[in-house]
Each structure stands twice: as C-alpha cells, then as structure tokens.
Chain A
Amino acid sequence: DAGVIQSPRHEVTEMGQEVTLRCKPISGHDYLFWYRQTMMRGLELLIYFNNNVPIDDSGMPEDRFSAKMPNASFSTLKIQPSEPRDSAVYFCASSLAGGGGETQYFGPGTRLLVL
C-alpha cells in the first residue's frame, strides 16, 4: 500500500493567494483527518470526515479555510486568501473504523510558507 499521499510536499506562496492542499487516503479507509503543525501550537486538528461527510470542523481557524471530500479517495484543504500566519506543516491522516481504537496513518505533510 502506498500509504497516505499528499501534494504538494512544499508550497511557497504570497499573501493573498489561494492555496490548495491535496490528500489521497489509504484505500478502504473511512475516516480522513486534516491536522496542522506549528512550533507555537503543536499538532492540532482542523477537520475530519467520515465516509466523505465532515463530522467536526471546530478546529478550522476561520472562514478562509475550507475542506472538501468529494469522494472516498480524495480530499482538499483550501486557504483563500492565505496569510503569513498560515505557514505550517499540514498533515492528512486516514483510518479505518474498528471499534474506536483504530490507528490513524499520516501522510508526509505539506510544508506551506506564505510570504
């Protein structure tokens, strides 16, 4: 299995531009999570989906952030407009429901720098 795939791996953009991050979960997994990692705040959940439906988006910082999961094998996280404080590593993770203690498998992350 290829694991969770994220693209791009690195993104440098200017303030005000739209940024789209992409994730392909492990085939067959029914949960998908977006996390953000910064030095100041550590690892924090942004949003997660179950069977393509958003379940908890309480971690999404503000309206500039949006996430979609149009099908079981693809999800996007969009920032519009981007700001320097959005600079972080964004991780996608997926898991297969199995009674609650299921393991989340993480992708390699997208390192975003907003200038």
Chain B
Amino acid sequence: DVKVTQSSRYLVKRTGEKVFLECVQDMDHENMFWYRQDPGLGLRLIYFSYDVKMKEKGDIPEGYSVSREKKERFSLILESASTNQTSMYLCASSPYPLTFGSGTRLTVV
C-alpha cells in the first residue's frame, strides 16, 4: 500500500522558533507538494518539487522554505514561526495515485 508519512501529527511551537516538518513517500514519485489547509480557504500550495534538489514556489511561499535532498523526502521549514502560520499542513506526492499524508496540525503560540 502506497504511503506518505508526515513526522508529526500535532505540533505546538513558540513564535520565532524555526520549525521543520518532514514528509517521506515510498512510491518513488517524482512530484512532492506541501499544502496548508485552512477553514473556508481549502488547500493552498506552499511549494512543490518535481525532482531532487528542484523546487518551485506555490501560491503562498512567504515565510517558508523547503528542502529535497533525496527523492523520497521533502521537508518544509518555517524560518521564524508566526501565529498566522497556525494551520493544518499536508504533504502530498504524485503522479498517480495522488497521495496525501495524514497532516500535521501546527499551533504557533
């Protein structure tokens, strides 16, 4: 069964902290994505990667960076966490099947 695994289900961090969200897929997918999901706004793309060391900005990249050193791993970094980054973060990979991780609910206090 194909799988995308996110390292943490829930995280609470303080304002100004550097936060790392990890995502690993076991499907040999080329494409990996980071989205944030907020009520009423749906899924918004932060960054995606189509190959190792390649990345493209999505719709809302400000305040975030990413790293893809290996094909199976895609990390999202919040350089200096702020309260407006409190959200559900979802990692996904493709092509078919488009597969999502179970999400990380991040609270920044």
Q: Is B a genuine binding partner of A?
A: no
